[in-house]
């Protein structure tokens, strides 16, 4: 079962980041668009890292260095929650491939776990982009002990869980309500 879950996870990641289109597409326009999208996403990630680093340095310069970890935790949680609310319905309840997958000899819980894992990895990337620069700036200015780096490293992997759970619940409620409405896309 774990092998099936990991295979589904790998396929979903390849589809999410359009890696198969970049590698295997014969259409040059599709390939170029996928590469440009990847480049844009990398550029936006670098800009976000720079912004977070400058924000943390600004807090340090006005003698509020102790606020950096909490501020960045809150910022990361809000960003994760907002992006997950928009992604939750399409990732979890994407009916396009769900019918195909349920027809295969795959248990439904394997499909759900692989989709949660996909959402977790995308949220983990966002967490790493926002938390690493602020942790580095905090380390430079506050000079904390080894415990800070150990707890930060461990905490990075758990930060996305609470906002992701709340956002998934909100996304499920919104999807449930909108499925009964006449104008679903609204």
- Dump pLDDT digits (tens) for 63-106: 898 899 888 899 899 988 888 887 776 666 665 666 666 667 77
Regions of the chain where pLDDT drops below 50: none
State residue 103's pLDDT score.
67
What pLDDT is attached to residue 181?
Answer: 73
- 3-class secondary-structure state, position 97: helix
Res 93: pLDDT: 62
pLDDT of residue 57: 93
* Residue 143 zone, left/alpha/beta (φ > 0; ψ -120 to 50; rest): left
Give the model's pLDDT for residue 46. 95
| Rounded CA separation 102/161 (Å) | 27
Contact 143, 65 (CB under 8 A): no
User: How confident is the model at residue 183, as a pLDDT?
Assistant: 66
Two structure tokens written together for 98: 């769900």
Distance CA 184, CA 178 (A): 5
């Amino acid at each position: 079962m774990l092998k099936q879950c990991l295979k589904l996870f790998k396929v979903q990641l390849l589809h999410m980041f359009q890696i198969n289109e970049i590698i295997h597409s014969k259409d040059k326009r599709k390939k170029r668009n996928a590469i440009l999208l990847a480049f844009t996403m990398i550029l936006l990630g670098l800009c976000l890292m720079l912004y977070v680093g400058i924000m943390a340095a600004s807090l340090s310069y006005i003698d509020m260095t102790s606020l950096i970890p909490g501020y960045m935790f809150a910022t990361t949680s809000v960003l994760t929650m907002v992006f997950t609310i928009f992604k939750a319905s399409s990732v979890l309840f994407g009916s396009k491939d769900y019918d195909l997958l349920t027809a295969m000899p795959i248990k439904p819980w394997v499909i759900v776990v692989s989709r949660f894992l996909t959402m977790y990895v995308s949220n983990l990337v966002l967490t790493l982009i926002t938390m690493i620069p602020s942790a580095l700036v905090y380390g430079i200015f506050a000079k904390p002990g080894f415990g800070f780096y150990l707890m930060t490293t461990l905490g990075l992997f758990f930060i996305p869980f609470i906002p992701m759970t709340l956002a998934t619940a909100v996304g499920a409620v919104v999807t449930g309500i909108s499925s009964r409405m006449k104008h679903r896309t609204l």
